[in-house]
Amino acid sequence: MSGAVVADLRRTVAELHGELIRNGLVAWTMGNISARVPGRELIVIKPSGVGYDELTASSMVVVDLHGTVVEGELSPSSDTATHAYVYRAMDWVGGVVHTHSPYATAWAAHGVAIPCVLTGQADEFGGDIPVGPFARIGGEEIGVGIVETLTGSRSPAVLMRSHGVFAIGASARDAVKAAVMCEDAARTVLLARTLGELTRLEQADIDALYDRYQNVYGQR
Ligand SMILES: [Zn+2]
C-alpha cells in the first residue's frame, strides 16, 4: 500500500518537525505533525516519544482515520486520536499540528483569545485566535473541542484551554505555518499589552485585510 505518495508524505512530515524546533515551538518531544494521504483514509503522523533529531521518513507511522496503525514499527503520537478526529470531521483539512508553544500557551493558560489588533493577524487568522474548551487527554474530547471551535471560524489555529495550540491547514506545511504565525501573534500581542490597553482593529478593516491576503497576496 506504500506507494510514492505515502513515501513522499513520510519524508515531508518528518522534515516539517524541524520547523517546530527552528521556530521555538517545542520542548523535548512535546509537539507533533500529521498529514492526510490525499484520497485515502490514511494519516502519516509522528511516532510517540521519539526525539526530533531521530525522526526519519521510515520512523513515521501510518494510521487510519480512527488511529489504528496500518504501517510502521513504532507507536503513533499520543495525540493521534485527536488528529484522527479532526480529519474525520473536516474534509478539507490535509495537515494538523499540535504544540505547547510558550507564548500561545500562556494565552491558553488564561483561556483568553488573542485579540486581532495587528494587520498580520487579520491577514492570517481573519480575526481573534479563539480559545477552545478544556478537555482531558486520551479520548476524542480534544478533537471535538477543536472542531467545534474552528468550524465556521476563519482562524486555522485554536488555543485549547489550559493545554496548547492545535493548528490546521489544507496541507501539513500550511498547518505548520499557522502554528508559527499563532506563536508570533501571541508573542507580539503579549508584548504590546505590557505597554497598555489594546484596541481591536475595526471589523471592516479585518475583513478587507483577510480578503486581500487570502485572495490577492503572493505569487499567483
Ligand atoms: Zn499537548
Cell numbers found for residue 29? 518531544
Catalytically active residues, by annotation: 98, 100, 123, 163, 217
Q: List Cβ neighbours of 56 (8 Å cut-off, separation of 6 or more).
A: 14
- Tens digit of pLDDT at every position of the chain (220 positions): 558 999 999 999 999 999 999 999 998 888 999 999 999 999 999 999 999 989 999 999 999 999 999 999 999 999 999 999 999 999 999 999 999 999 999 999 999 999 999 999 999 999 999 999 999 987 789 999 999 999 999 999 999 999 999 999 999 999 999 999 999 999 999 999 999 999 999 999 999 999 999 988 777 6
Question: E strand or H helix at 172, and its extent?
Answer: helix 172-193
Report whether 37 contacts 12 (CB < 8 A). no
Of 199, 156, 196, which Cα lies nearest the Cα of 180?
Answer: 156
How far is residue 176 CA from its own chain's centroid? 6
pLDDT the model gives residue 28: 84
Output the pLDDT for position 62. Answer: 98
How confident is the model over 44-54, as pLDDT tens digits?
Answer: 999 999 999 89
Ligand 1 centre and the CA of 19: distance in Å? Answer: 17
Is 131 strand, coil or helix? strand
- Model confidence pTM above 0.85: yes
Question: 40 CA distance to ligand 1 centroid (A)?
Answer: 26
Q: How far is the CA of 55 from the centre of ligand 1 (A)?
A: 19
User: What is the Å distance from ligand 1's center to 216 Cα?
Assistant: 35
The per-residue pLDDT for 29 is 82
